[in-house]
Amino acid sequence: MKADVLITNATIVTMNADREILSEAAIALNGERIVQLGPTADLAAAFPKAEVIDGAGKVVLPGLINAHTHIAMSLQKGITLAVPDGLYRVMWPVEKSLTAEDCYVGALIGGAEALKGGSTTVVDHYFHMEQVTKAAIELGLRGVMGHTIMSRLGPITGERELEEGIDYVRRWKGQHPLITPWLAPHASDTVARDWLLRLRDVASEEGVGLHLHLAQSTLERSYIEEQYGMGCVEYLDDIDFLGADVLAAHCIHIKDSEIDLLAESGAHPLYCPMGHALGGQPARAWEMVQRGADVLIGTDCVCGNNEMNLVSELRIAGASQKQLTGDHTAMPAGKILEMATVNAAAAIGMGDQLGALVPGYLADLIMLDFDRLHAVPNYDLHNNIVYTCHGRDVHTVIVHGEVVVRDHQLQTLDEAELAALAQEKGPALIRRAVAKEQDLAALWDAA
């Protein structure tokens, strides 16, 4: 057996079937695979030629899976924050001015931020997905990617987008080890019923998943209620759209009975706690978990988060459910870690490859600084990972065996250049949008 990378002297949270935590341990990687875990002395003797990464004072975790993102939206950071119905009044009008180049640059910046915040995989959908995919590959970020499809309301609609969403899946299936193409209808109200039916069929034929927004706003709920006389989840259930291959972001404006429909269908509600909190609209994530739904965690976009930082998102994921339910035992830290690792891996169809540190699995992992002032002493590891760590504690990130963040620095691209690009391209996009959209100019003045 061979290994080319050996992380030594670390605390390793394996998330294996027994949820073992190893102390003073090592993990050996060869190429894109995990080879072995065990005591540092044993593995150092077994793999003397491997490059050693010192894990002393660090915690190694499986790479986190960010179950709902739009990494390309980095140029629009914070623009919907505190604007009522900001999605409709700000985001979509701005997006009418988006270029393919904006999406590429935005995805480089957002993807870099996601990696540095501990996400090794993003489940993402957006416009100009070819550009976003190119950016993810350049960064070394794993992606479950979909081209956003809308038939009404949005900035980019029309039959061509439907065909492109399907073509995207057929073009990328099996083409790159980092990219898993999915279908991405935007939401229950923005995609025509016959398109949803067709996409459901194509997903089953191609064996790919469906990633959409569901019951994310009162406008979505009232439109579906007016059109079909039912709730958004009921509607998707009624047209046989739901299933274990469906990831549904937000699920905020739903009835009690719709929680049961989500649970029974196996569809995965995506909980984006920071965006929900800043939007003043909590999702009943813990209630969903207790009623049998497999809830996953995402950061969503930076328009209303305003970070793409999954390690930090874990903290608010727990805190906001404790507050919402009035129960301090709600959403325990161990459960939160499962949601962002093993559960998410299974939901994207990679439960036997990702989400745990097990020999034979893909070498996707993160290493957190755990000896800094704010993280010591350490009496309960799960709680301290969730409640003391920040994204900025992410020291090392390895995806598919490649070290893409080392000593807090992105290795694949120059961070200073990316920041300069954000400063240049972001305001240019906003200026173009304001020049085109009168209502937007008024909103901007008011802000």
Stretch that binds Zn ion, among 132-140, 298-306, 361-369, 406-414 (CB under 5 A): 298-306
Which C-beta is closer to Zn ion: that of 50 or that of 285? Answer: 285
Identity of the residue numbered 24: E
Give SS3 for 238. helix
Stretch that binds Zn ion, among 106-114, 140-148, 294-302, 395-403 (CB under 5 A): 294-302
Stretch that binds Zn ion, among 15-23, 97-105, 277-285, 292-300 (CB under 5 A): 292-300
Which C-beta is closer to Zn ion: that of 140 or that of 146? Answer: 146
Which C-beta is closer to Zn ion: that of 305 or that of 396? Answer: 305
Which residue is nearest to Zn ion, using beta carbons?
A: 300
How many chain residues interact with Zn ion (CB under 5 A)?
Answer: 1
Which C-beta is closer to Zn ion: that of 55 or that of 269? Answer: 269
Closest CA to 136 of 148, 146, 122, 117: 122
Shortest Cβ 68–Zn ion spacing (Å): 6
**Residues 81, 358: Cα–Cα separation, whole Å:** 40
Give SS3 for 304. coil
The interface mask with Zn ion, positions 329-368, x = CB under 5 A, is: ----------------------------------------
Residue 333 has phi, psi (to 5 degrees) of -60, -40
Shortest Cβ 72–Zn ion spacing (Å): 12
Give SS3 for 85. coil
Shortest Cβ 367–Zn ion spacing (Å): 29
Shortest Cβ 300–Zn ion spacing (Å): 5
Shortest Cβ 4–Zn ion spacing (Å): 37
Which C-beta is closer to Zn ion: that of 16 or that of 216? Answer: 216
Stretch that binds Zn ion, among 45-53, 143-151, 299-307, 409-417 (CB under 5 A): 299-307
Q: Is the peptide bond before 377 cis (omega within 30 degrees of 0)?
A: yes
Which C-beta is closer to Zn ion: that of 40 or that of 148? Answer: 148
List 211's β-bridge partners, or say none. 247
Instruction: Looking at 209-252, list the stretches that DSSP marks H as alpha helix, in order from N- to C-terminal side.
Output: 218-228, 232-238
- Cα angle value 316/319/325 (rounded, 5°): 130
**Residues 43, 28: Cα–Cα separation, whole Å:** 7
- Does 220 help bind Zn ion (rule: CB under 5 A)? no
Q: Are strands 402-406 and 394-399 parallel, antiparallel or unpaired?
A: antiparallel
Q: How many CA atoms lie within 13 A of 208 on its CB side?
A: 27
Which C-beta is closer to Zn ion: that of 126 or that of 361? Answer: 126
Instruction: Find the binder of Zn ion among 113, 237, 300, 437 (CB under 5 A).
Output: 300
Q: Burial level of 20, CB count in 10 A (0-12/13-18/19+)?
A: middle
Q: Is the peptide bond before 384 cis (omega within 30 degrees of 0)?
A: no
What are the DSSP calls for 6-37, one per residue?
EEEEEEEE---TT--EEEEEEEEEETTEEEEE
Stretch that binds Zn ion, among 127-135, 296-304, 336-344, 427-435 (CB under 5 A): 296-304
Shortest Cβ 121–Zn ion spacing (Å): 16
Which C-beta is closer to Zn ion: that of 47 or that of 168? Answer: 168
Q: Which residues contact 318 (CB under 8 A, 6 or more apart)?
A: 330, 331, 332, 333, 336, 386, 387
- Cα angle value 147/416/407 (rounded, 5°): 90
Shortest Cβ 88–Zn ion spacing (Å): 14
Which C-beta is closer to Zn ion: that of 102 or that of 300? Answer: 300
Which C-beta is closer to Zn ion: that of 234 or that of 300? Answer: 300
Shortest Cβ 276–Zn ion spacing (Å): 11
Shortest Cβ 87–Zn ion spacing (Å): 9
Shortest Cβ 93–Zn ion spacing (Å): 17
Q: Which residues sit at the interface with Zn ion, rule CB under 5 A?
A: 300
